[in-house]
Structure 1
Amino acid sequence: MGYARVSTSEQNLENQIEALEHYGVSRDMIYTDKMTGGTMKRPGLQKALRMALMLKADFCVWKLDRLGRTTMGILSTVQLFEDNEVTLISVTEPLDLSTPTGKLLVTQLASFAELERNLIQERTMRGLEQARAEGRIPGRPESMTEERKARAIEMLGAGATIKAILAELKTMPGPTIGRTKVYNWVKDYRMLHPEDPTDDR
């Protein structure tokens, strides 16, 4: 069995698939995911695990961090393989789980995989914070535009309900806006302006 994973839909799985095929895994026995390794609940991984356990087949990955990005997730899966006589193979890493040294190496690689994930998250958060500080807010456009905020404040002052405010804001120019966004904005606004006499509606 083979398993390949990349973190986002923009990334390409082909290099991993080709490496697994070169190792001897048939393409129709390779399962894939395009999602974070922070969770082990991935559709492709779950299918590959079920097949490997059922067939008692070797389980091949390009690198151990393709299996996951958390120490506990990787080690619990390794234990599952050991309990069911399934051999884990990393095409680019010398894993031998039949020896104490091999088991130690797996633990170290799993820890490094989690560390790298945490560092990536930290760099991403710093980038977002810097972008906000510079007025460059990445991601989806803000649906509560300044014009919508001004109108919402005006309607709140007049005692309008959230339903009425939402209906009004939907008629104004700007990105698509939903009830949850308006409700949360009103909630935050009232927390910041406790002197506002309007009730939560």
Structure 2
Amino acid sequence: MLIGYARVSTQDQNLELQTEALTKAGCKKIFSDKISGSRAERPGLTKAQEALREGDTLVVWKLDRLGRSVRHLVDLVGKLHNEGVQFKSLTDAIDTGTASGRFFFHVMASLAEMERELTIERTRAGLEVARLLGRKGGRRRQMTDSKIKSAKKLLASGVPPRDVAGNLGVSVPTLYRWIPASNHP
């Protein structure tokens, strides 16, 4: 029997493309998760594994829908193989029911991990270049230099901190973060 597994990373993503492809491939049962692949606990994958019997095939739409890393993929497919279960990835054309499929699985898994590591390296390099150019990541700060100057003047003239914060469009804690209470009357 073919048993399908589909996964998307976030709640607002749609499983429909994957489940439709798995159904067309002949999967009698399809289990799914709406959870990050980096999470160890994936209830849908656990249920799929529990449903698998010797001679069955676990089918996924794409290799990265199943594993968190090459090590995880290799371990999982190895465990399935030991239980007499095959693995098939539709878009990667991998079928571990054949010797060439097993070989291709290992090659594709290694390439997927390498691609992920290269993406991480490029991201880090880009952040470093941005840092060297004086750019900072994260949200823009709410208290600009002109707001700080205005806030100090207003506080010095006796305007209550809540009113100053309201006028500047920031919260009172944000105002106090930039101008501690000990710096004004």
- TM-score, normalised to structure 1, is 0.58
Where in structure 2 are the equivalents of 1:1-201 lying within 5 Å?
1-9=3-11, 11-26=13-28, 29-36=30-37, 38=38, 40-53=40-53, 57-132=56-131, 133-138=133-138, 172-173=173-174
Q: CA deviation at 1:19?
A: 1.1
Residues 75, 142 of structure 1: alpha-carbon distance in 2 compared, 3 angstrom cutoff: farther
Q: Does structure 1 retain, via aligned residues, the 8 Å contact 2:33–2:42?
A: no
Q: Does structure 2 retain, via aligned residues, the 8 Å contact 1:20–1:61?
A: yes
Distance 1:41 1:119 in 2: 26
User: Which has the greater radius of gyration?
Assistant: 2
Gaps of 5+ in 2: 149-170, 178-185
Instruction: Number of aligned residue pairs: give it.
Output: 149
Q: Partner of 1:102: helix, strand, or coil? A: helix
Q: Percent identity?
A: 37
Runs of 4+ in 1 over 3 A off after TM superposition: 6-12, 38-41, 126-134, 140-143
Distance 1:71 1:9 in 2: 25
Q: CA deviation at 1:70?
A: 1.6
Distance 2:119 2:18 in 1: 21
| AA in 1 matched with 2:35 | K
Q: Does structure 2 retain, via aligned residues, the 8 Å contact 1:6–1:34?
A: yes
- RMSD of aligned C-alpha atoms? 3.4
Q: CA deviation at 1:107?
A: 0.5
Residues 124, 51 of structure 1: alpha-carbon distance in 2 compared, 3 angstrom cutoff: farther
Q: CA deviation at 1:75?
A: 0.9
Q: Is 8-17 or 111-120 further displaced after alignment?
A: 8-17
Q: CA deviation at 1:130?
A: 4.4
Q: CA deviation at 1:114?
A: 0.8
Q: Does structure 2 retain, via aligned residues, the 8 Å contact 1:9–1:35?
A: no
Q: Partner of 2:88: helix, strand, or coil? A: strand
- TM-score, normalised to structure 2, is 0.62
